[in-house]
Chain A
Amino acid sequence: MLTKEIKSLVSKDIRFELRQRSAINGILLYVVAIVFICYLSFLRVNIIDGQTWNALYWTILMFASMNAVSRTFVNENPNRQFYFFTLASPQAIILSKIFYNAILVFILSMLSYFFYIIFMGNKAQNELMFIVCVALGSIGISAILTFVSAISSRTNNNFTLMAILGFPLMLPLLLILMKLSEFAITGTDWLTALIYFLLIFLIDAIVLVLALILFPYLWHD
């Protein structure tokens, strides 16, 4: 029952998105622009070592994700939105939003990675580890940001408040992700990296459960 709700909610969101394309186009442009700017500014310096590459990547991804997720709870058509939400349970709603955003963030991350390779060369020695790390990270980032977006949608100042609330909360996850992707870049073996993977998995799980439990309280209005 729950999975069916979630599936239909997610497919509805995806269909809306494909029809309107407003979000995806804007974000795509954003990513390309930033990567290009970084490329230009590093032309002079000529040395992009693994660490800089890594740090820049996550910074770009963070800003792009915030941009992307800030739109989740903006009701373009409040009546229709309200109708949908009376049909589905709050758990289904939040899970579907998180899932949708996770896919979105993952697509963003892969796009960024792609443009990164084009402009600045591929520094990651262990590509599979990098991608897995980013995939797990997308879930966590999406969960935190979606939840914060839900909170700030209940107030009036949407994007600033979301940034203020979301940014510090994302930092712990980001630090671990950065450490892990650094491992992927330097080509460390999977065994040492394993504990970081577990940590990310743990954070993802905890944040998801929290969001599930707490969202209904936000919703009763």
Chain B
Amino acid sequence: MEIKDIYIVVIVLLVIFAGIIGYLFSLDRKIKKIENAGKQQESRDK
């Protein structure tokens, strides 16, 4: 069956969506790393 236009729309949207989610995840991981480093500092200070 030929590729309907609507499928292309969905795929494009999914790609954009994946990009956004990927960005959010990377932010999440970065923040988590900094937070963990901070926590280790605290527990070492104690």
A touches B (Cβ under 8 A): no
